[in-house]
Amino acid sequence: MAETDIKGKSVLVTGGASGLGALYAEAFLKEGAATIAILDIQAEVGEATANRLNNNYPGKVLFINCDVSSEDAITAAFEQVVSEFKQIDVIINNAGIMSDAPKVWRNASDVNWQGVVSLTMKGVKHMRKDEGGAGGTIINVSSTAAVYRWRHLPIYSGSKMAVLHFSQSLAVEPFYEQTGVRILTICIGPTDTPLMLGLRERAYDDKTGEELVALDAEYKKQYQNQKPESAVAVCLQKFKEGANGSIWLSLSDKPARDITPVISAAFKEFEKLSEP
């Protein structure tokens, strides 16, 4: 079975109870995925989503209540998915918290960054062909905040840049040649999801929060937040066409764009500075 063929694949999606995560899960089911595991901290919403999807795709969806800021919770959930499905072919590290608020940012960073690292490394260990695995694909969800200096949410932006750089660094060859695991990254721009609500409370102080609300209003005079379906379409296209280590952009309802050459060129310039 080709690695870019979704049919028959077992998929794990974090943050899959609602928003883009739930849409990713449904899209992969429509494309023929064999099983989907949804991991999320929202127990009631997650159960409802799993029940709804199972009505259309009987017995294919498993919900696991999991806080991806907790290593113990991640380990238990991952082991449960492996026990149920026997094999995981695709991991979509979608869970994220966009907040620099004083009482939230540390937990948000654990979700946005350490949760992604933990599930990625567990996925690599499980999938890698040189240790008896079947290969697979890991999709790490970053943001346009990773490539734009967004001063209103510097902590969130830093976590998303960490995801991008971690993913591209891990994927450097001979990684794929040895493991048979593709690492793909998607940078998602402003999208019409609950993540874009309550912006004032997401900033690190009140003044910055007010500026963020004003910036959002100004942005919407010229542009619209993209539809969630656009981000899902980019995710599907990236899975079907993306080379290991590639970075894809989902922005303004435009078709998927592979921005790997742009990112790679920038890093090559940085690397020249460190040459003797």
Annotate 60-96 with b (16+ C-beta within 10 A) or e (fewer). Answer: bbbbbbbbbbbeebbeebbeebbeebeebbbbbbbbb
Which residues 6+ apart lie within 8 Å of 70 measured at CB?
110
Q: No. of H helices and E strands in the chain? A: 10, 8
How distant, in Å, are the alpha carbons of 164, 189, 249, 254 from that of 145?
A: 10, 8, 11, 17
How distant, in Å, are the alpha carbons of 66, 130, 141, 156, 194 from that of 96?
A: 13, 31, 9, 9, 12
The closest of 204, 218, 200, 179 to 106, measured between CA atoms, is: 204
d(CA 139, CA 238): 9
d(CA 106, CA 159): 11
d(CA 156, CA 145): 8
The answer to whether 156 is a known catalytic residue is yes
d(CA 270, CA 165): 13
Query: Tell me, what DSSP letter sits at residue 201?
Result: G
Which residues 6+ apart lie within 8 Å of 158 measured at CB?
none
Catalytic residue among 156, 176, 204, 223: 156
**Catalytic center residues:** 156
